[in-house]
């Protein structure tokens, strides 16, 4: 039996340093994960969880203010090791495609895995939808996630900078872009019956 291809629409939120007095050796760590799993154009599963940072577990005031995430929420999250186990379970090797808005999510995940001594959990194709969107519409600059969905006359799902809401919004834009791509594909040639209204033609000679 052929395995179904699966798309993983992923968004992570990360820790941020305070503007003053940067922490020695600081690097962004995942503190919230949102994933929308799609098979055969249907949402198969959703996953959302806060994640406890390994290296700098205490959130800065800037991070809490910008993301509207509290220390208590993060403290009740899963460990980074548990997150990686979940991602490995979702991957299914080459039969999955990871879709993100921008390249930061996968960059930070790779760095976090390297720092923790863990293998990167994905082995399939990765798509940066923001670059596809930029190339498709010929924009000079990369467009923000919620600005992109608004350019389609739509609204983002839930709240911006909440991982699952942003993952859902990424999925929405993916569907809109894929639909536009289909419109641009070469249409099937019309037949003479499509071009000529034979009923009008027969009436003319009746």
Task: Indicate which CATH number applies to the domain containing 180.
Answer: 3.30.420.10
- C-alpha closest to that of 95 among 195, 202, 7, 157: 7
7-48: pLDDT as tens digits: 999 999 999 998 876 778 899 999 999 999 999 889 999 999
Classify residue 85 by burial, with Cβ atoms within 10 Å: 0-12, 13-18, 19+.
middle
- Looking at residues 164-191, what average pLDDT do you find? 77
The mean per-residue pLDDT over the stretch 139-149 comes to 72
Does any domain span residue 175?
A: yes
Answer yes or no: is 178 within a domain. Answer: yes
- Looking at residue 92, its pLDDT comes to 76
Sequence-distant (6+) residues with CB within 8 A of 59 are: 15, 31, 69, 71, 74
Residue 55 lies in a domain: yes
At 2 the pLDDT is 56
> How many domains is the chain partitioned into structurally?
1
Distances (CA, A) of 5 to 43, 109, 130, 132: 12, 23, 22, 20
- Per-residue pLDDT reduced to its tens digit, 89-139: 998 766 899 999 999 999 999 999 999 999 999 998 999 999 888 887 766
Q: Quick one: pLDDT band at residue 58, thresholds 50, 70, 90?
A: very high
Write out the two tokens for 155. 């609204």
pTM, full prediction: 0.82
Nearest to 54 by CA among 106, 122, 102, 118: 118
Query: Across the chain, what does the average pLDDT equal?
Result: 85
**Residue 201 pLDDT class (50, 70, 90 cuts):** very low
Residues identified as active-site: 13, 161
Residue 26 within a domain: yes
Is 196 part of any domain?
Answer: yes
Supply the pLDDT for residue 50: 98
Q: Give residue 155's Cα distance to chain centre.
A: 16
137 is a domain residue = yes
Segments forming the whole domain that contains residue 112: 6-205
Cβ(17)–Cβ(59) below 8 Å: no
Q: Is position 1 within any domain? A: no
List, edge to edge, every strand of the sheet that includes 42-52: 78-79, 42-52, 30-39, 6-14, 96-100, 125-128
With a pLDDT cut of 70, the percent of the chain lying above it is 80
At 95 the pLDDT is 81
- pLDDT for the residue 180: 77
Q: Give how far the C-alpha of residue 176 lies from the chain's centroid of Cα atoms, to the nearest Å.
A: 14
Q: Is the CB of residue 136 less than 8 Å from the CB of residue 101?
A: no
Provide the pLDDT for residue 169: 92
């Amino acid at each position: 039996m052929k395995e179904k291809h699966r798309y993983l629409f992923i968004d992570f939120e990360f820790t941020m340093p305070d503007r003053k007095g940067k922490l020695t050796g600081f690097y962004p760590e995942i503190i919230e994960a949102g994933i929308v799993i799609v098979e055969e154009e249907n949402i198969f599963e959703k996953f959302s969880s806060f994640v406890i940072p390994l290296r700098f577990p205490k959130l800065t005031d800037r991070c809490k203010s910008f993301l509207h995430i509290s220390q208590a929420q993060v403290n009740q999250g899963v460990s980074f090791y548990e997150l990686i186990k979940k991602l490995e379970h979702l991957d299914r090797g080459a039969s999955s495609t990871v879709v993100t808005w921008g390249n930061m999510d996968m960059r930070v995940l790779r760095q976090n895995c390297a720092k923790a001594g863990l293998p990167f959990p994905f082995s399939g194709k990765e798509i940066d939808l923001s670059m596809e969107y930029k190339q498709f519409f010929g924009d000079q600059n990369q467009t923000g996630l919620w600005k992109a969905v608004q350019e389609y006359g739509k609204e983002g799902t839930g709240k911006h900078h909440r991982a699952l809401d942003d993952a859902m919004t990424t999925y929405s834009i993916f569907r809109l872009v894929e639909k536009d791509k289909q419109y641009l594909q070469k249409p099937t040639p019309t037949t003479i019956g499509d071009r000529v209204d034979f009923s009008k033609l027969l009436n003319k000679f009746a």
